[in-house]
Structure 1
Amino acid sequence: MDIRIHLEGNCLFISGPITYDNVVEVTRAGEAAIKADDMLVDLTGVTQVDSSAVSMLLEWMRTTQTYGRRTEFVNLPSNLADLIELYDVGSLLPTGKPAESI
């Protein structure tokens, strides 16, 4: 699976698939950035997801809260937004457009 994670300032860019096959790797890489600072997570480049991607976002939010950080998820692919709605966890995941404040 060809996943790319790129940190640029306070923006974490994720591209490629996020599935059961690589979710542990992606989760750990993202957690390192989220522990360090407030983070805007841009998911524009995500090409494929399954339910494990929702679990990953929830884990990142737990990390955010544990370390007293702020995280926002932007540019979610429609299939990921659909899963978030299906599992009724949208209130737990701050999503929106890129914010200047983070």
Structure 2
Amino acid sequence: MKIFQPNGTLTLESASRQLATLPSIGQGEQLNVDLSQITTADSSAVALLLHWMRSAQKQGGELQFFGVPEGLTGLIHLYEVDALLPLSNRI
């Protein structure tokens, strides 16, 4: 099981640096993205998660997000993209 754990901030200032940080995954692989170490997130974080999802799908893999901070979960629900982002409470 592959786990990717970004940390720090996912904001407008840091999102562009984070675009290419998602590890590559193979056809049919699942990558678990642990967001529990994210300290600050804004709406740019939602766009970044969607970008990561599209990147994984283009590689033939899929992502599962867990450890999503409460504030980021709120933004995901606010923008009504929770159906597009597979959120989990645990691996």
TM-score, structure 1 normalization: 0.81
C-alpha displacement at 1:26, in angstroms?
1.0
Whose relative contact order is higher, 1 or 2, with alpha carbons under 8 Å and at least 6 apart? Answer: 2
**Alpha-carbon distance in 2 for matches of 1:73, 1:58:** 11
Matched, 1:36 2:25: yes
Counterpart secondary structure, 1:48: strand
> Which has more helix, going by share of residues?
1
TM-score, structure 2 normalization: 0.90
Deviates more, 1:81-90 or 1:59-68: 59-68
Which residue of the partner structure matches residue 74 of structure 1? 66
The CA RMSD measured in Å over matched residues stands at 1.2
Is the 2:4–2:31 contact (alpha carbons within 8 Å) kept by the matching residues of 1?
A: yes
Structure 2 gaps, min length 5: none
Give, as a single letter, the amino acid of the residue that structure 1 aligns with 2:89: K
Is the 2:36–2:67 contact (alpha carbons within 8 Å) kept by the matching residues of 1?
A: yes
**Alpha-carbon distance in 1 for matches of 2:21, 2:64:** 16
- Paired residues in the alignment total 88
C-alpha displacement at 1:18, in angstroms?
0.7
**Residues 15-36 of structure 1: per-residue CA shift (max 9 Å, x gap):** 1111111101112111xx1x33
Which residue, out of 17, 31, 37, partners 1:25?
17
Matched, 1:84 2:51: no
**Alpha-carbon distance in 2 for matches of 1:17, 1:96:** 20
**Alpha-carbon distance in 1 for matches of 2:56, 2:7:** 21
**Deviation >4 Å, runs of 4+:** none
Which residue, out of 12, 32, 37, partners 2:4?
12
